[in-house]
Structure 1
């Protein structure tokens, strides 16, 4: 992805949070996950109603987005095939850029070069992050089990 994906994120205003809460509740009331597509109606600035057919998967994603906005979180959609800079990838993993570069160079995370610049696919980064989180949870569980075993807990 040539443009930065993590720029200009801002938290929703209180009014946006309230609208997101109402919107999520209303959408949840009528959303049917048994259908591939569904029709919704929107009103333009002149109060004219227009019916639009959308994939149910898009409406489900919209429910998730509204839920995050309702919780006061900023939201950004990233295509899974997006290419991230090392800084963007480091930000997502909450690590320093030099640490991420070391992960890349050690082969822990696949990357390719565009000219002299390293790029990481978003899908690969999420796969790495999920595996890292799974390993972390497993290690914490093992520590907890060990502490119970030796009577520290």
Structure 2
């Protein structure tokens, strides 16, 4: 897994194709089935039916929908181990700041030799916790502004 690679943004033609593909695939999504069948046709006209898990089919539709909006998409396995730079990039913070979070116990990590590694799921858990706390603070500020009739 290479999480350093920055995915390229889709071209306008790719976004248009993704939009149409997403729309067509979603028409055939059967959510009550465990698997979906897709027929793959090669350049020579040969075809074969391929069964995929419904969760993977949904993921494909979601990827195409993101591409249709002009977004780049990358997949990271939930059990992936990230370097401190990769983790910092995902949180949009500097690597030294992330290292302080790690050393302060804010995010669990382990060492591989002398290098710190962070599990993707631990990073997501931290981000969700921070986002929840941020939302609570914003709600408290909003309530306070309402009580003081500050006009918002």
What band does the TM-score fall into relative to the shorter chain? over 0.9
> 1:110 and 2:108 equivalent?
yes
CA distance in 2, matches of 1:144, 1:25: 39
Cα deviation, 1:93-146, whole Å, max 9, x if unaligned, reads 011111100000010100000011000000110111111111111111111110
Separation of aligned partners in 2, 1:99 and 1:40 = 46
**Aligned residues between the structures:** 151
Q: What CA distance in whole angstroms lies between the structure 2 residues aligned with 1:72 and 1:36?
A: 30
Question: Deviation digits for residues 25-78 of structure 1, max 9, x if unmatched?
Answer: 001101011000111111111122211011001001111111110110110110
Q: Secondary structure at the match of 1:79?
A: coil
Q: Which runs of 5+ in 1 are unaligned?
A: none
Q: Which is further off, 8-17 or 51-60?
A: 8-17
Q: What corresponds to 1:125 in structure 2?
A: 123
Cα separation, 2, equivalents of 1:6 and 1:133? 24
- The runs of 4+ residues in structure 1 deviating greater than 4 Å are none
SS in structure 2 of the partner of residue 58 of structure 1: helix
Q: CA deviation at 1:6?
A: 3.1
Mapping of residues 35-50 of structure 1, within 5 Å: 35-50=33-48
Report the RMSD for the aligned CA atoms in angstroms.
0.9
Q: Matched residues in 1 for 2:13 and 2:57: separation?
A: 22
> Could you list the runs of 5+ residues in structure 2 that have no partner in the other structure?
none
Separation of aligned partners in 2, 1:6 and 1:14: 24
* SS at 1:21 equivalent: helix
Q: TM-score, normalised by structure 2?
A: 0.96
Aligned runs of 1:1-153 on 2, under 5 Å?
A: 4-153=2-151
